[in-house]
Amino acid sequence: MISRDIAVVDWQPDHWIRMVRGPQGSGGDASGGWLVLICDDGDRIVHAVLRGAPRPDLVGQPVGDLAARRREHGAARVVCLEQGALRRILARGEGRLDFQMDYVQQVLTLVEAFRSERGAGLRLEPSSPPGPLPPFAWLQFLFDRLWPDDTAIILHVVDEARGELWTSLLLRKRAGDLDLLTTDLHLGDEGLRAGSWRADRTRMLGAVARRVARPFLAATFTLDGWRAWRQGEQGVAALRRTGQLELDPLPRRFAVPLHLVGALSRLRPR
């Protein structure tokens, strides 16, 4: 699924940070992101990180109600870990890892180790979905069937107010594995021009075809559209109707489910 020799090149750190942290909430307020709390046996905070930044002002406070903490800080999720839980999780996960495992399989193994502490040393708000993780073999099967070799998946998010790219991601699959992870920087002068991105997408996709691989799936969001999608406020179909998302090329295997979801959403009672 992920090549052992994957190339991570022309990586724009700000694009990656924005991708991971997510956009600010509507109106420009710094909402969303994760609040991570480490607590002692007495349920007092010994370390806190909000959206990647330390929060020493929370140290020494009782953890309290996680839902209240989430509302207070405008976080998308609160993760509360007991100090000893991390040691148990890593010991359990490392005991199941094998150097021959695919990178994704290794991640799934570690995630399963974290999930084993749910309700004990690990508390989440909102809680994670119940039930086991899908087997790696299922994910590998879908990966092989849904994404053909020698093609690329492209994502751009455009901050129209500033006239610049907010984040970007280019992925290539070759010989059955993800073998290239890069950003718009990899295209150099042929990268997407944010100021005229709607008219410029066709030219940019041609550059991807020449320099990376044939585009298989390409999505360009406005920053507002990306925010609405990440926060679950609008679906893909609605964003395409309002021009906040350009999704082309869109393989038929993905287009049919998207159209069905959009049709069903319009049938909901209002």
Which among 105, 137, 169 is the end of a domain? 137
User: Which amino acid makes up residue 138?
Assistant: W
User: Which amino acid makes up residue 43?
Assistant: D
186-194: long-range pairs with CB below 8 Å, 24+: 186/9, 186/10, 186/211, 186/212, 187/211, 187/212, 191/165, 192/156, 192/158, 192/165, 192/168, 192/220, 194/158, 194/159, 194/160, 194/163, 194/164, 194/165
13-21: long-range pairs with CB below 8 Å, 24+: 14/167, 15/165, 15/166, 15/167, 15/168, 15/169, 15/183, 15/184, 16/167, 16/183, 17/52, 18/157, 18/166, 18/167, 19/167, 19/169, 20/52, 21/51, 21/52
Q: Are strands 151-159 and 164-174 parallel, antiparallel or unpaired?
A: antiparallel
66-71: long-range pairs with CB below 8 Å, 24+: 66/123, 66/124, 66/125, 67/125, 69/35, 69/37, 69/125, 70/35, 70/125
Joined tokens for residue 45: 């905070």
Residues 123 and 221 in one domain: no
**pLDDT at residue 258, as a whole number:** 60
Residues 238 and 186 in one domain: yes
**pLDDT at residue 226, as a whole number:** 92
Residues 126 and 227 in one domain: no
Residues 155 and 124 in one domain: no
- CA dist 192 and 222 (Å) reads 13
- CA dist 117 and 95 (Å) reads 16
Concatenating the DSSP letter of every residue in 134-158 gives PPHHHHHHHHHHHS-TTEEEEEEEE
Cβ neighbours of residue 148 closer than 8 Å, sequence gap 6 or more: 173, 216
Q: What is the CATH number of the domain that holds 175?
A: 3.30.1050
Which among 110, 137, 164 is the end of a domain? 137
Note whether residue 142 is domain-resident.
no
- CA dist 145 and 133 (Å) reads 20
Residues 69 and 123 in one domain: yes
Residues 151 and 125 in one domain: no
Residues 110 and 185 in one domain: no
Q: How many distinct structural domains can be found in the chain?
A: 2
Question: Domain limits at 80?
Answer: 34-137
**pLDDT at residue 173, as a whole number:** 94
Note whether residue 56 is domain-resident.
yes
Note whether residue 62 is domain-resident.
yes
Note whether residue 16 is domain-resident.
no
Instruction: Render each residue's pLDDT in the chain as its tens digit; 270 residues.
Output: 777 788 889 988 899 888 877 665 444 445 667 899 999 988 899 999 998 889 999 999 999 999 999 999 988 889 999 988 878 888 877 777 777 777 777 777 777 877 777 877 888 898 876 666 777 777 777 778 888 999 999 999 999 999 999 999 999 999 888 999 999 999 999 999 999 999 999 999 999 999 999 999 999 999 999 988 887 778 888 899 999 999 999 887 776 656 555 554 444 443
